[in-house]
Amino acid sequence: MTPRRLVAGVLAASVLLAGCGSNIQGRPVTPSAEPAEPSFPTRRPSTSQPSHPTPTPTTSLPTPQPGGQVLPPDDSGWVFIQTKSGQTRCQLNQQEVDCEAQFAQAPVQNGIPANGVRLTADGTLEWVVGNLGDIPVHTIDYRTYSAVGWTIEATKDGTRFTNQATKHGMFVSIERVQAF
């Protein structure tokens, strides 16, 4: 390779690399004032029946704890739920509960109505704008559940989360959110 071609190659590479970086200032916003759910389909477990019957296990299932049916966490310690109405989705771990819905009385955060609420185990409530994304939710019925140190009481009027250790919690519905 001649020195002239080597220099030309180095200059061309420098020009290309200089054009690869950019820093755009500003705040991302959605096209409308209402944050929307993603339009892609969410994963659902297959409902197809096996071609041959599966033998019934001889051991019995564990008895539910006083807090209700136990919802096991994933490998990262999170439990993902959706209310029976489908209007509210939540994720929870030992430290917090995060719920997403189109709340009627949500405060405005950075110019956008909040569509999320976070409650920590110590009782701190925070409104947020965000999207839980394509989480693998378990749709809960109107009854009591236990998950990662929280008791979940779901009714047609809303869902109540209570931390079993601190007794702090929140009631969540489309109409209102209240910490206790």
Amino acid letter, 141: D
pLDDT tens digit at each of 180 positions of the chain: 666 665 566 555 554 455 554 444 545 555 455 544 444 344 444 444 444 544 444 433 333 345 689 999 999 999 999 999 999 999 999 999 999 999 999 999 999 999 999 999 999 999 999 999 999 999 999 999 999 999 999 999 999 999 999 999 999 999 999 999
For residue 14, how many C-alpha atoms fall within 13 Å in the half-sphere facing its CB? 6
pTM value?
Answer: 0.65
DSSP state, residue 152:
E
Q: Could you tell me whether strands 150-155 and 158-163 are parallel, antiparallel, or unpaired per DSSP bridges?
A: antiparallel
